[in-house]
Structure formats: structure tokens, C-alpha cells
Structure 1
Amino acid sequence: MNENNYIQTIGENSTLQDSIIENMYLKAFASIFDAENTSKEKYITKTMLIKSSNDMSTQEKLTSLDKNYKCRNYERWQNLLYFTIISFSVLGVAVASPIAMKNVRKLFTT
């Protein structure tokens, strides 16, 4: 009898753990995609402003466009780094810390 309950508890923990990990992962993906879209919109807006500017010389426009492009690439790498850190953090919590998952479960049940 106790063995059956123990097996069910493990299944429930796994299901809860899987759902928590999935929710964390989905939130991480959503925030990273939002950051990427915001960065892309900023880049496009700045590019349009620089191109439509009448008080800048051609060289100033080219320099500004280069700086804007460098900022965009920096933000892409930054978003990729955030994504990597969050992915490994979620994976670390899922694999290495069953005690942490038990504490999270206690938070949800109380």
C-alpha cells in the first residue's frame, strides 16, 4: 500500500515539476522574444530617423547608422546571453535541486 502511494507521489512530483519548469520556460521565452522585438523596433525607428534627418551630413548619417547597427548587435548578443542563462538556470533547478521543487510545491499548496 505504501509503495503504491510512494509511486503516485513521485508521479505527482514529476508532473508538478514538469509543469513548473514548462511555465518558467514559457515565461523566459516570452520575455526574451519581447526583448528581441523591442530591440528590433528600436533599431528600425532609429534607422528611419537617421535616414530622414535633414540636418546631418552623409558622413554623420553613415556614422550614426553604424553605431545604431553596433547597438543592435550588442542587444542581440545580450538577449542571447540572457536566454542561455535562463535556460541553464531552469535546467539546473529541474535536475539538481529536488529539494527546491519540494519547497515550491509547498508554496503552491499552502
Structure 2
Amino acid sequence: MAYYAGLGVHVKRLLTDNGAAFRSKEFAAACKALGVQHKFTRPYRPQTNGKAERFIQSALREWAYGWTYQNSAERITALASWQHHYNWHRPHSGIGHIAPMSRLKSANNLLTVHS
């Protein structure tokens, strides 16, 4: 949450699947402490969380299997770079062929957090 707050984003609601980690008392307490309303997707209905499903599909196609890696450690090392590209530079058709970070209207100058 601190990462998003640093970008001027206030998280009000969180949509997750029904995994055990998200159903735990600890997770519920964390959401309550942060003032975040937690909602669950419908069981066995991935389309109710389409954005997350689309992200996973893109990650698998563009990062995990989009390149040849020598080993798993090399693949994991490449993740941060891919995530940066995905969020800061890659056009997304669902938001008018712009990068997601360009949509943020923050009091902070986004260039100061871009690396």
C-alpha cells in the first residue's frame, strides 16, 4: 500500500480470488486496519476478475515464456524489468493504447519515481 500511496493512489477496495491467504483472519485484519473494503470473486468464475486473469496471461506470454532463460533464477531476475516495462512503457489496448502509469494524476511528478 505504501508503494501506491507514494504515487498518490488511495486504495479503497480490493478484489481477490477465494484463496486461503485471502480468506485468513490476518488478511482481513490488515484490510480493516488499512480501511480497505475486501471483496471476493465468484468461485470458479475467473471472468469476474478479468483484469487479473489478463495480466497473468500477458505475464506468461511476454515474460515467463516469451524469452529463453538458462534457469529459473535468470527468469526471476528478469521479472522486475518486465514489470517495469509493462507498467511504464507498454501500450495497453484496454486504456487507449497508453501505459498504465501515464494515467496516474498524482501530486508527485511521476518522472521522479521512474527509473
Which structure features the higher share of strand residues?
2
Which structure features the higher share of helix residues?
1
TM-score (norm 2): 0.29
Kindly name which structure, 1 or 2, has the bigger radius of gyration based on alpha carbons: 1
Q: Which has the higher contact order (CA 8 A, sep 6+)?
A: 1
